[in-house]
Amino acid sequence: MTTIEDFTSQYGLVKKIDAFGYMDYLKSNPDAPRKHGKVVLVTADTPLKSVPRRRQDHHDHRLIDALRARGIDATAVLRQPSMGITAAGSKGGASGGGKASLTHPELIDWGLCGEMAAIAAAQNLLVSFAEKAIDEGKLDTILVPRVSEVPSRSLRSITVDAGKNNVAEKVVLTPTSELMQIVVLSRSMDELGKRVAAMIAGTKDGKPVQFGEFIDLWRITDMLADAVKPALTETVNGSPVYVHGGPFANVSIGIPTLVSVEMACALHDVVIVEAGYGTDAGAQKWLDIACREYGAQWPSAAVVVTRASTWRDDPELAWRYPFHVNRLEKLDIPAFPLINLWEGEDDQVPSLRETAAKLGFRDPIVGNLYRDGGEGLADQIDAFADVLANAAAPAARDSHRGMPLIDNVKWVAENAYGVPADRVVLKDGFLDSLGEASELCKDAGLSLDDLALVAVKSPATMTDNDRAPEAERTVTLKKVEVHAGAGLVHVNLTTSLTTPMPKIV
Amino acid sequence: MTTIEDFTSQYGLVKKIDAFGYMDYLKSNPDAPRKHGKVVLVTADTPLKSVPRRRQDHHDHRLIDALRARGIDATAVLRQPSMGITAAGSKGGASGGGKASLTHPELIDWGLCGEMAAIAAAQNLLVSFAEKAIDEGKLDTILVPRVSEVPSRSLRSITVDAGKNNVAEKVVLTPTSELMQIVVLSRSMDELGKRVAAMIAGTKDGKPVQFGEFIDLWRITDMLADAVKPALTETVNGSPVYVHGGPFANVSIGIPTLVSVEMACALHDVVIVEAGYGTDAGAQKWLDIACREYGAQWPSAAVVVTRASTWRDDPELAWRYPFHVNRLEKLDIPAFPLINLWEGEDDQVPSLRETAAKLGFRDPIVGNLYRDGGEGLADQIDAFADVLANAAAPAARDSHRGMPLIDNVKWVAENAYGVPADRVVLKDGFLDSLGEASELCKDAGLSLDDLALVAVKSPATMTDNDRAPEAERTVTLKKVEVHAGAGLVHVNLTTSLTTPMPKIV
């Protein structure tokens, strides 16, 4: 009998799975045994800039440990952390800490099996191919950036071919690249190849030129042969955890690969999907991009992580967490608050429960997860486990395909950030940028309005002025960028950083 | 019983071996079973620019197949090919072709297990650390280049922090980096760390500053945790082949890692070491750097690969191949010519044997290796196998440590290129460069003359004018560069390319 083991190979301390092959096998063998796991979105409050944040990823691990302690076959699917961010000195990584560690955190944090590096090399080779196309007169302007696995602020603005042609470029971190998005969204090598071929390399006389018109596609797909395989590791308690894909949540799509989640759903009953940063970032992108536009599974429940400080340290921003929880509930996603205590906060549990009750939340799950691990949660997750046990298979939601881009952004502003359409502001130059993007798409045989919207924003804010009273908050639209291969259109909001290149500390 | 298996783990289609751990185990357990394999250097004629060249690496695979067919426990240790070169469109790679292929050529050619990428990331992180040191006033000039895994001619000269500080830089391919040299030369993680710490990051007020003075060394060594493990793959005939390290032979040291060769010698009776490019490049570097200065094993025999065209297509350069064979014989290394035929050259075998006899060579091994594989050689290697069976353990050779650098270069010019000391020319500026390097070393507490010499040269030439009559050939010295961490000093010869960054084809 063919099983997942036939698609799995050891890769040092972790395993790698040919997920494309396995999903293809299931498709061709509809009677093969498989599960139909439910997706749980683990997301978080929008982070406060003022306090160091423990990543919600830790909580994924603890939740699966807690679920598995109750006999539920649960797993988590995480994004691979950016080695650049780890290298830069942000201590976290995605591998947890304390009682919720993965078994091989050093591996996850420092490049895993080379997936990011392969994506970086392939994206950079695309740029080299584009340069060759310029030499050959097929292109006059390149629109894809080089990437670096390692941050360096001085790479934000560079001049290449210095002393001769002096071409201005910016270098971005690998997780921000279109190729990373393509790896996340593709369900087969064939789809991946087609998406790479459809990427707009640049322009010639103002008209878009796609990579498929001039590259040896096999060189790119050969480079990515292993990078498309999810890694399987486990928590220190032996719970399985898949790691695959790592786009940033604020400037990109912030979700693990679709194929890794779908494979996990075929293998487990509950699949916790880590949606990066706040509910306004990764979760919004899972729901509105992955589910609505790319056929991913609508979550059967959500866990929204926050800290005790949410209602204590920064009252002006205290509106955000309830907004997130309520938004998910309104979308028929049962949203469970998870409040992670730090040392010295145990005595605040009664008042936290009281606040949660006043806000109309479901009973929150509360614990010092670093200290106590998943075990500390096991007796608090009855309601959560009940919801998962009784949830019907979720229906697909409407696509926004064809909705005019500005309406689509306004829809996101209202639904995900709480800012109504009349307070969405178009910055000078936005309409020009929109017009250019629209023209570029048309010339490439696409409609801009058929692309899925990626809101490019700051990780720590939802609006132009989160601290203002609700009626004064605005969202400003700055510019538009097309990622035709990934099928995405980026709209930058005012506070966005388009070249995240952290400082080495 | 502890065996090599305890240090081996599966890594997808290949195995990775904790060679540091195994060699450490053997050191602590002198009675543990082990072999004392003999080293065979496989090298080649200096390539002719005018014809496409099949890499001598192919012949390594075929030779071990031929030796193993006779019951000899032989293996080969190869360098990992530069993905950049493969990506650029040079078809070869290092994985052979036809009947001499490795089982997974696509893997070897396209990044193996991410070793090169990890070295690239670590070298780039060193540059980022150096930039931080500049911000903190600890450094004012950076002396280490960034590297790229992918070639792009426009990266040869770049300006970073463009529009602000406008700092000029060059980007080089990973295989040319000092960190790659350190990975090749280090026999433990501890040694590797010390060497990284000893690298000269740059200068402050003209005085050298070493990385150990300001970096978090663990971030670099964590990044390299897997990259220091040799990969084990095999030929299509099942012969074991180790792949580890990949410095270029013309601008760097052109040899696989010392630890991979030493591990192979503990596991097999005959270890074929691939020394890159011609005898004047990788072989010279194995002998004069690895053996003389770093305690590697002197070869018990050599195989010097050439093509039928050597004596046919370019008579002006025909002196080079006999020079190489004779040089090795003079060093008491039995040197076996291996003539690789192309299609349509079978009828030239008698005349090739005649020429070889006239030149006083040992009986050449002749065959169309692509077509016939190692089997075609099996009945021609009696003399070669006899030499290996009867060779005494080779003695260590004299170090050049302490020899004045100019004398050392003159010694190499005479011995490896056939140009006597009085025809070694110092280019304008060379003595200044020498003086600066000497001063830099002194300020770092080193003597320039204690560093091992790396001749940086063109891959296709041995002298300034290989086509001139012997008495007119010269070697010009251009500049000096110190790699204090690797313990090396580079001297650029006139025809050298210091930023090999091939064109994408």
CA-wise closest residue to A325 among A308, A303, A340, A345? A303
What is the structure's pLDDT at A77? 96
Last residue of a domain, one of A223, A240, A266: A223
* B87 and B153 housed in the same domain: no
> Residues, chain B, total?
505
H/E run at residue B433: helix B430-443
**Is residue A399 one of the residues assigned to a domain?**
no
- Tell me the H-state helices in A348-419: 349-358, 369-372, 382-390, 405-417
Q: Is the pLDDT reported for residue A51 higher than 70?
A: no
**Is residue A370 one of the residues assigned to a domain?**
yes
Q: Which residues contact A127 (CB under 8 A, 6 or more apart)?
A: A142, A144, A145, A146, B152
Neighbour count for residue A349 (Cβ, 10 Å): 15
Q: Report the distance separating Cα B192 and Cα B221, nearest Å.
A: 8
Are residues B11 and A13, on separate chains, in Cβ contact within 8 Å?
A: no
* A134 and A150 housed in the same domain: yes
> Residues, chain A, total?
505
Tens of pLDDT, residue by residue over A294-319, are 999 999 999 999 988 887 788 899 99
**Is residue A498 one of the residues assigned to a domain?**
no
* B385 and B425 housed in the same domain: no
Q: Which of the residues A7, A129, A149 would you substitute to probe the B interface, choosing the one with the greatest number of B C-beta atoms within 10 Å?
A: A149
Please give the C-alpha separations between residue B487 and each of B185, B294, B401, B433, B444, in angstroms, as whole numbers: 9, 10, 11, 18, 12
* B336 and B433 housed in the same domain: no
Q: For chain A, what percent of residues have pLDDT higher than 70?
A: 95
Please give the C-alpha separations between residue A285 and each of A255, A274, A488, in angstroms, as whole numbers: 7, 11, 12
Report whether B501 contacts B151 (CB < 8 A). Answer: yes
Which candidate from A106, A121, A151 shows the least CB-CB separation from B150? Answer: A121
**Predicted confidence band of residue B56 (pLDDT cuts 50, 70, 90):** very low
For B331-378, give the secondary structure using H, E and C.
CCCCEEEEEECCCCCHHHHHHHHHHHHHCCCCCCEEECHHHHCHHHHH
Q: Is the pLDDT reported for residue B92 higher than 50?
A: no
Which candidate from A9, A110, A148 shows the least CB-CB separation from B222? Answer: A110
The domain that contains A146 carries what CATH number?
A: 3.30.1510.10
Q: Report the distance separating Cα A296 and Cα A309, nearest Å.
A: 33
Paired with A241 in beta bridges are: A76, A233
Are residues B225 and A161, on separate chains, in Cβ contact within 8 Å?
A: no
* B261 and B381 housed in the same domain: yes
The range of the structural domain enclosing residue A474 comes to 405-493
Q: Report the distance separating Cα B169 and Cα B156, nearest Å.
A: 8
* B211 and B234 housed in the same domain: no
For A17-83, give the secondary structure using H, E and C.
ECHHHHHHHHHHCCCCCCCCCEEEEEEECCCCCCCCCCCCHHHHHHHHHHHHHCCCCEEEEECCCCH
Are residues A165 and B149, on separate chains, in Cβ contact within 8 Å?
A: no
* A232 and A215 housed in the same domain: no
**Predicted confidence band of residue B285 (pLDDT cuts 50, 70, 90):** very high
Which candidate from B118, B149, B159 shows the least CB-CB separation from A159? Answer: B159
Report whether B287 contacts B331 (CB < 8 A). Answer: yes
Q: Return the residue of B nearest to A152 by Cα.
A: B128
Are residues A87 and B223, on separate chains, in Cβ contact within 8 Å?
A: yes
Q: Which of the residues A83, A125, A131, A501 would you substitute to probe the B interface, choosing the one with the greatest number of B C-beta atoms within 10 Å?
A: A125
Which candidate from B9, B13, B159 shows the least CB-CB separation from A162? Answer: B159
* B94 and B135 housed in the same domain: no
Number of domains in chain B: 3
Q: Which of the residues A104, A110, A148 would you substitute to probe the B interface, choosing the one with the greatest number of B C-beta atoms within 10 Å?
A: A110
Instruction: Give the gap in angstroms from C-alpha B187 to the nearest C-alpha of chain A.
Output: 21
Q: How far is CA A275 from the centre of its chain?
A: 5
**Is residue B367 one of the residues assigned to a domain?**
yes
Q: Report the distance separating Cα A145 and Cα A170, nearest Å.
A: 6
What is the structure's pLDDT at A402? 97
* A19 and A107 housed in the same domain: yes
Q: Is the pLDDT reported for residue B250 higher than 70?
A: yes
Are residues B154 and A168, on separate chains, in Cβ contact within 8 Å?
A: no
What is the structure's pLDDT at A90? 53
Q: What is the mean pLDDT of chain B?
A: 91
**Is residue A478 one of the residues assigned to a domain?**
yes
- Phi, psi for B452 (deg, rounded to 5): -80, 140
* A104 and A236 housed in the same domain: yes
Mean local confidence (pLDDT), A222-241: 93
**Is residue B339 one of the residues assigned to a domain?**
yes
Q: Is the pLDDT reported for residue A499 higher than 80?
A: no
The domain that contains B337 carries what CATH number?
A: 3.40.50.300
Instruction: Give the gap in angstroms from C-alpha A87 to the nearest C-alpha of chain B.
Output: 7
Cα angle for residues B121, A189, A259 (degrees, 5° grid):
85
Please return the burial class of B316, using the count of CB atoms within 10 Å of its CB with bins 0-12, 13-18 and 19+. exposed
Are residues A158 and B160, on separate chains, in Cβ contact within 8 Å?
A: yes
H/E run at residue B491: strand B488-493
Last residue of a domain, one of A180, A205, A223: A223
Q: Which residues contact B163 (CB under 8 A, 6 or more apart)?
A: A157
Please give the C-alpha separations between residue A315 and each of A52, A218, A305, A312, B101, in angstroms, as whole numbers: 17, 54, 18, 6, 67
ipTM over 0.90: yes
Are residues B167 and A154, on separate chains, in Cβ contact within 8 Å?
A: yes
What is the structure's pLDDT at A91? 47
Three-state DSSP class for residue B418: coil
Torsion of CA B399, B401, B405, B406, to 10 degrees: -40
Tens of pLDDT, residue by residue over B210-238, are 999 999 899 999 999 999 999 999 988 88
Last residue of a domain, one of A204, A223, A242: A223
Q: Return the residue of B nearest to A91 by Cα.
A: B219
Cα angle for residues B13, B18, B20 (degrees, 5° grid):
150
* A372 and A268 housed in the same domain: yes
What is the structure's pLDDT at A48? 72
**Is residue A398 one of the residues assigned to a domain?**
no
Q: Which residues contact B267 (CB under 8 A, 6 or more apart)?
A: B4, B34, B35, B37, B75
Q: Is the pLDDT reported for residue A70 higher than 70?
A: yes
Three-state DSSP class for residue B273: strand
Q: Which residue has the tokens 């090298």?
A: B43
CA-wise closest residue to B491 among B445, B430, B423, B415? B430
Report whether B461 contacts B47 (CB < 8 A). Answer: no
